[in-house]
């Protein structure tokens, strides 16, 4: 299930529709690559300026602000071009050099350049990206932070049945109602059965109410995106996916090779080394629920992690 993000309004509803749903899903878009636009490369190596772009949804803007502030702290001249649009709009711009740096999601990016890929783990996804991306661009280090699908339960359910992984559900799934987007059953029922041996009592289309339905016990498990603030608000437990039913969606910098230097690379890699899903989820709660300013949230995280 792929999502095309349209608006850039920072609302909880927007956050809840982020992320990837299913193998090859994508927080940006899943369309075929657009041709690179012609025109001058405003972030070229000769200018010394780094142009940081973002897609038009709150999480990507937040990540762009994290990259921007960290680079400025290293004395790198930065221009911000946030809220540009979906991947088919911005991909060509980074290939051409009109953008220098873009916060990306590795699994979604791979599905964009190769819709037929079956890679699922972080290493497999990044290995394919390194051979399939256009020669003008490259990925830097992926962070542990992911905005991806999860199969999630309440803490009470996890504690009662000693659930930590999706595999643990095999002993109780026949008594569980599972929920998610309307397409969830069609896309995942056979896969869960084949990979993890799961047979659920019932599948319910719960859509954006999935997290609330888990909390109320209307369903016992559900498909929730890993940076959904309701995971924190409702005290939910995303189950580990050791067999990678859900493909990797690690936050990963995508850069124009000719327009970045070693300072840019090492600074962005240092961010990736410290950014995890829990931190990203906490920041998105501040942005979407508490209505904090994204640059202020970005600055707080950078300061806490010694990156400013």
Domain ranges of the chain: 12-147+248-304, 151-238
Per-residue pLDDT tens listing for the chain (308 residues): 333 333 333 333 333 333 333 333 345 543 344 444 333 344 444 458 999 999 998 999 999 999 999 999 999 999 999 999 989 899 999 999 999 999 999 999 998 999 889 899 999 999 999 999 999 999 999 999 999 989 999 999 999 999 999 999 999 999 999 999 888 898 899 999 999 999 999 999 998 899 999 999 999 999 998 999 999 899 999 999 999 888 899 999 999 999 999 999 999 999 999 999 999 999 999 998 899 999 999 999 999 999 99
pTM of the complete model: 0.77
Fold of 12-147+248-304: D-Maltodextrin-Binding Protein; domain 2 (3.40.190)
Do residues 79 and 52 touch, judged by C-beta distance below 8 A? yes
Biggest CA–CA distance in the chain, Å, is 63
CATH number for the segment(s) 151-238: 3.40.190.120
> One fold for both 12-147+248-304 and 151-238?
yes
Sign of CA dihedral 133, 138, 144, 146: negative
Helices 58-73 and 294-304, packing angle to 10 deg: 50
CA 18, CA 284: separation in Å to the nearest integer?
11
Strand order in the sheet with 251-256: 78-85, 50-55, 101-105, 251-256, 137-139
What are the DSSP calls for 17-54, one per residue?
Answer: T-S--STT--SS--SPPPPPPPS--TT-TTT--EEEEE
Please report, for residues 16, 140, 279, the alpha-carbon distance to residue 188 in angstroms, rounded to integers and kept in the order given: 20, 31, 28
């Amino acid at each position: 299930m792929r999502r095309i993000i349209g608006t850039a309004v920072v609302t909880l509803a927007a956050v809840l529709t982020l992320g990837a749903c299913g193998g090859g899903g994508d927080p940006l878009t899943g369309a075929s690559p657009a041709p690179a636009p012609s025109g001058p490369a405003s972030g070229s190596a000769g200018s010394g300026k780094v142009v940081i772009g973002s897609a038009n949804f709150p999480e990507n803007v937040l990540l762009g602000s994290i990259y921007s502030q960290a680079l400025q702290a290293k004395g790198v001249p930065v221009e911000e071009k946030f809220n540009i649009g979906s991947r088919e709009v911005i991909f060509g711009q980074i290939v051409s050099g009109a953008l220098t740096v873009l916060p990306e999601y590795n699994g979604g990016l791979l599905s964009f350049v190769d819709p037929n890929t079956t890679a699922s783990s972080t290493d497999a996804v990044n290995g394919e990206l390194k051979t399939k991306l256009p020669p003008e661009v490259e990925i830097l280090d992926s962070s542990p932070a992911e905005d991806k699908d999860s199969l999630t339960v309440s803490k009470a359910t996890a504690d009662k049945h000693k659930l930590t992984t999706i595999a643990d559900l095999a002993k109780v799934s026949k008594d569980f109602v599972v929920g998610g987007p309307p397409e969830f059953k069609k896309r995942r029922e056979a896969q869960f059965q084949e990979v993890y041996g799961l047979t659920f009592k019932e599948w319910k289309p719960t859509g954006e109410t999935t997290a609330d339905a888990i909390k109320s016990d209307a369903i016992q498990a559900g498909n929730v995106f890993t940076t959904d603030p309701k995971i924190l608000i409702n005290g939910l437990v995303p189950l580990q996916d050791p067999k990678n039913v859900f493909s990797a969606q690690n936050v990963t910098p995508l850069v124009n090779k000719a327009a970045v230097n070693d300072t840019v690379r090492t600074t962005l890699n240092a961010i990736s080394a410290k950014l995890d899903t829990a931190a990203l989820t906490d920041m998105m709660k501040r942005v979407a629920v508490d209505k904090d300013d994204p640059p202020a949230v970005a600055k707080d995280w950078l300061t806490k992690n010694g990156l400013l």
